[in-house]
């Protein structure tokens, strides 16, 4: 677009400041007085007489921000003003000649309106509604403009309707207005001081049912800023009912040999160390009044510049999901892959399958639910898989066909160099490996004394005390 054709005669007649003519003389030897030594970096920060676009480091930072936020397709410059209406009034003044028609919203911002009324221009009001400027009104005005009169060349628009409380024009409406302005060769001056306050949450996507991944949900939905927004909440359905139980039992003592005092009807007490490593309270703290929409594998969420694909990745929990950001080839991994250490899981078979499904995406970057961003995604996933496969090989190598061991007995050998305080939680991890080996047909246990049917926490506690052997 040829912006020069839009400039007013006053703006065209402006010339660079005459003070610039002094520059060649300043460069001459002995032209100036006494020379003082000032740190160059400090001098550059404190004095910036050669630039009128604002403090250089701040200007560069804002330039970089625009590249990220708005992704301009052309070269552009940026000027920092003193605030208030300084820049917008100067911008408008650049395009005003005597009688120039200026398109403005009706009503418009009173601060700018008072300035425009002081100028020799004609104000052309465009209708607005609750979502801002009405595109049909703009089209009607421009489409019926008399051919013998100077056409409007500038539209002054306030997409937030001067309201910092959450009202803003929709993306669809902005695109429609932009298309009309393209059609009639109109320059848009967008006055949006609240741009970065207009963050609107339309959807909350929960990775899984652990409280540290939905704990702030109630605060978001009850916030005065969001409570009338109709925010949608999404989560993959939990395939099983919540597991709840007491951690104490008056008839049992896990630190002694008193297990024979327990009746067949009373389940064993669960060691605290086991509780720390297992998913025992799925969704038990989830706000009951919140309506949750079910996620499904490969579901897609789209917004401007971003496509998010849902990946059902069970293992850590049955309902666990990760999310693939297609434009970046990055994955939000939640608790499947962490920024430090390794992740806990409930089902090793499902967990390894999930890791391999993420690996198949060949992601560049991983955004974990805990810990720093992982810049090299593929090596980290391979590291996770190799770690589990190595542990599995150690366990299968330890087991023999003619001898059987409990998970804790296996830990006492494989983890002999680790503190004993870690042995009991490690035993649960070994049990999960054994359950995978059982599913693969490579290990089993004596089922003749089975007391807890199904796959429950009680069952897993029972299996911690069973002896396992290779098939």
**What would the pLDDT profile of 250-262 be if each residue is shown by its tens digit?**
333 333 333 333 3
Q: Is the pLDDT of residue 266 over 50?
A: no
Q: What is the pLDDT of residues 435-446, one digit of tens each?
A: 899 888 898 887
Taken in order 436, 442, 446, 448, the sign of the CA dihedral is positive
So what's the pLDDT on residue 330? Answer: 97
Q: What is the pLDDT of residues 383-392, one digit of tens each?
A: 999 999 998 9
Mean pLDDT of 170-178: 88
Using CA atoms, how far apart are residues 356 and 362, in angstroms rounded to an integer? 10
Q: Structure tokens of 425? A: 């939680």
Q: What is the pLDDT of residues 28-86, one digit of tens each?
A: 777 666 677 777 777 666 665 555 667 778 888 888 888 887 788 888 888 887 776 88
So what's the pLDDT on residue 273? Answer: 39
Q: Structure tokens of 375? A: 């810049």
Q: What is the fold, at CATH topology level, of the domain defined by 399-470?
A: Arc Repressor Mutant, subunit A (1.10.10)
Mean pLDDT of 191-212: 81
Mean pLDDT of 10-37: 70
So what's the pLDDT on residue 363? Answer: 97
Residue 394: which of 423, 447, 362, 433 has the closest Cα? 433
CATH 1.10.3720.10 matches 203-242+269-386: no
In terms of DSSP bridges, do strands 321-325 and 330-334 run parallel, antiparallel, or are they unpaired? antiparallel
Residues with Cβ within 8 Å of 154's Cβ and at least 6 positions away in sequence, in order, are: 6, 92, 95, 100, 102, 103, 186, 187, 188, 189
So what's the pLDDT on residue 243? Answer: 40
Contact 374, 464 (CB under 8 A): no
Q: What residue ranges do the domains of the chain occupy?
A: 86-197, 203-242+269-386, 399-470
Q: How far is CA 106 from the centre of its chain?
A: 37
Q: Is the pLDDT of residue 246 over 50?
A: no
Using CA atoms, how far apart are residues 179 and 186, in angstroms rounded to an integer? 10
Using CA atoms, how far apart are residues 125 and 105, in angstroms rounded to an integer? 5
Of the listed ranges 27-36, 209-218, 256-265, 301-310, the one predicted with least confidence: 256-265
Task: Identify the band that residue 199 occupies on the pLDDT scale cut at 50, 70 and 90.
Answer: low
Q: Write the DSSP symbol of residue 372.
A: S
Task: Identify the band that residue 236 occupies on the pLDDT scale cut at 50, 70 and 90.
Answer: very high
Q: What is the pLDDT of residues 349-402, one digit of tens each?
A: 999 999 999 999 999 999 999 999 999 999 999 999 999 999 899 888 888 767
Q: Is the pLDDT of residue 418 over 80?
A: yes
Mean pLDDT of 295-308: 92
User: Which residues partner with 126 through β-bridges?
Assistant: 105
Using CA atoms, how far apart are residues 55 and 60, in angstroms rounded to an integer? 9
> Domain 86-197, what architecture?
3-Layer(aba) Sandwich (3.40)
């Amino acid at each position: 677009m040829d912006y020069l054709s839009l400039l007013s005669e006053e703006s065209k007649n402006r010339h660079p400041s005459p003070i610039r003519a002094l520059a060649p003389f300043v460069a001459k030897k002995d032209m100036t007085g006494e020379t003082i030594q000032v740190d160059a970096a400090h001098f550059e920060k404190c004095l910036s007489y050669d630039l009128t676009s604002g403090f250089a480091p701040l200007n560069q930072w804002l330039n970089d921000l625009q590249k990220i936020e708005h992704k301009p397709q052309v070269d552009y410059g940026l000027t920092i003003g003193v605030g208030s209406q300084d820049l917008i009034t100067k911008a408008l003044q650049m395009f005003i000649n005597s009688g120039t028609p200026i398109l403005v919203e009706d009503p418009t911002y009173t601060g700018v309106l008072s300035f425009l009324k002081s100028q020799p221009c004609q104000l052309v009001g465009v209708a607005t509604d609750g979502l801002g400027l009405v595109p049909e009104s703009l089209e009607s005005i421009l489409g019926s403009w008399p051919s013998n009169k100077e056409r409007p060349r500038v539209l002054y628009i306030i997409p937030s309707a001067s309201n910092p409380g959450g009202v803003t024009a929709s993306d669809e409406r902005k695109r429609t207005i932009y298309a009309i302005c393209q059609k009639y060769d109109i320059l848009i001056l967008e006055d949006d001081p609240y741009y970065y306050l207009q963050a609107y949450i339309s959807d909350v996507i929960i990775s899984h049912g652990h409280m540290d991944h939905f704990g702030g949900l109630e605060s978001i939905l009850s916030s005065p800023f969001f409570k009338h927004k109709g925010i949608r909440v999404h989560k993959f359905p939990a395939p099983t009912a919540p597991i709840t139980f007491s951690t104490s039992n008056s008839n049992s003592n896990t630190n002694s040999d008193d297990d024979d005092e327990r009746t067949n009807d009373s389940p064993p007490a669960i060691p605290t160390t086991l509780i720390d490593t297992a998913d025992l309270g799925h969704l038990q703290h989830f706000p009951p009044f919140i309506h949750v929409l079910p996620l499904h594998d490969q579901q897609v969420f789209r917004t401007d510049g971003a496509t998010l694909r849902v990946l059902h990745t069970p293992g850590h929990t049955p309902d666990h999901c990760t999310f693939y950001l297609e434009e970046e080839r990055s994955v939000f991994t939640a608790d499947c892959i962490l920024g430090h250490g390794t992740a806990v899981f409930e089902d090793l078979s499902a967990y390894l399958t999930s890791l391999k499904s993420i690996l198949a995406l060949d992601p560049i970057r991983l955004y974990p639910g805990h810990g720093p961003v992982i810049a090299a995604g593929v090596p980290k996933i391979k590291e996770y898989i190799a770690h589990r496969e190595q542990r599995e090989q150690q366990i299968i190598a330890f087991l023999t066909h003619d001898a059987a061991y409990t998970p804790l007995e296996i830990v006492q050998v494989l983890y002999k160099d680790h503190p004993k305080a870690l042995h009991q939680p490690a035993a649960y991890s070994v049990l999960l490996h054994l359950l995978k080996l059982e599913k693969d047909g490579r290990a089993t246990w004596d089922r003749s004394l089975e007391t807890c049917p199904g796959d429950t926490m009680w069952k897993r506690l029972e299996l911690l005390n069973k002896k396992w052997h290779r098939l």
